[in-house]
Amino acid sequence: MQSEKPTVLILCTGNSCRSHLAEGILGAAAGDFLNVVSAGSKPAGYVHPLAIAAMKEIGIDISHHSSKHLSQFLSGKIETVITVCGNLDQGCPVFPGQLNRHHWPFEDPAHATGTDEEKLEVFRRVRNEIRRTFTAYADGRRDGLRATTD
C-alpha cells in the first residue's frame, strides 16, 4: 500500500502569478513524492496569462491551474506552508497537521509595466528565481527521503 504524499501549500495574496509559478515548478520537481497546491487570501480569480507563457517556455503547463482561496485547504492535512509574498506572511493561518512553514518572498510580476515583452521579461526573471529556490527545496526534500531509507 502506498502512503499518502505530504501536501505542500504555496500561498500568495492573489494566487495568480508567483504561487502558480512555484506550484508548477515544485510539482514538476517533486510531484512524485509531494502533493503540491496553491491558494491565495484574496484570489484574483484567474492565472495570469504571462505566468502561463513563462512556464510554457520551460516545458511546464499551468494553463489548467485555477485561482483558489486558502479556506479550501483549512480542513485538509497540510504538511508544509510556503508563503511567496510579504503580505501573507504575517497573517497566514495555521493549517491542520502543519509541521513546517517557510516564507520566501518574491517580487510580484503582475505589477510589471511596459510592453508585453518587457512584462514577460519580469515574469521570466521571477520564474527563474522561484525555480532556483523551489528546485533546491525539492532536492533537499528528496535527499532527506533517501537518508531515511538508506
Q: How many CA atoms lie within 13 A of 89 on its CB side?
A: 9
Grid cell in block for residue 142 = 528528496
CATH number at residue 92: 3.40.50.2300
Angle at 98 between CA 145 and CA 129, to 5 degrees: 65
Task: Enumerate the active-site residues.
Answer: 12, 85, 92
- Asked if residue 135 belongs to a domain, the reply is yes
pLDDT at 3: 59
The helix/strand/coil state of 141 is helix
Grid cell in block for residue 88 = 501573507
Q: Which of 14, 5, 67 is nearest to 35 (CA)?
A: 5
Q: Is the dihedral of CA 78, 84, 89, 92 positive or negative?
A: negative
Q: pLDDT confidence of 1, banded at 50, 70, 90?
A: very low
pTM, whole model, 2 decimals? Answer: 0.92
- Asked if residue 79 belongs to a domain, the reply is yes
* 3-state DSSP percent of the chain in helix, strand and coil, to 5: 45, 15, 40
For the cut 70, the answer to whether the pLDDT of residue 91 exceeds it is no
- Asked if residue 71 belongs to a domain, the reply is yes
- Asked if residue 149 belongs to a domain, the reply is no
pLDDT at 35: 97
- pLDDT per position as a tens digit, 28-86: 999 999 999 999 999 999 999 999 999 999 999 999 999 999 999 988 899 999 999 87
Tell me which of 16-20, 75-79, 88-92, 97-101 is least confident.
Answer: 88-92
Whether the CB-CB separation of 82 and 102 falls below 8 Å is answered with yes
- Asked if residue 63 belongs to a domain, the reply is yes
76's CB contacts (< 8 A; 6+ apart) are 7, 95, 96
Q: Is the dihedral of CA 126, 35, 6, 143 positive or negative?
A: negative
Number of structural domains (the chain) is 1
Range of the domain at 137: 7-144
- pLDDT per position as a tens digit, 104-114: 999 999 999 99
- Asked if residue 150 belongs to a domain, the reply is no
- Asked if residue 31 belongs to a domain, the reply is yes
- pLDDT per position as a tens digit, 104-142: 999 999 999 999 999 999 999 999 999 999 999 999 999
Angle at 115 between CA 110 and CA 120, to 5 degrees: 50
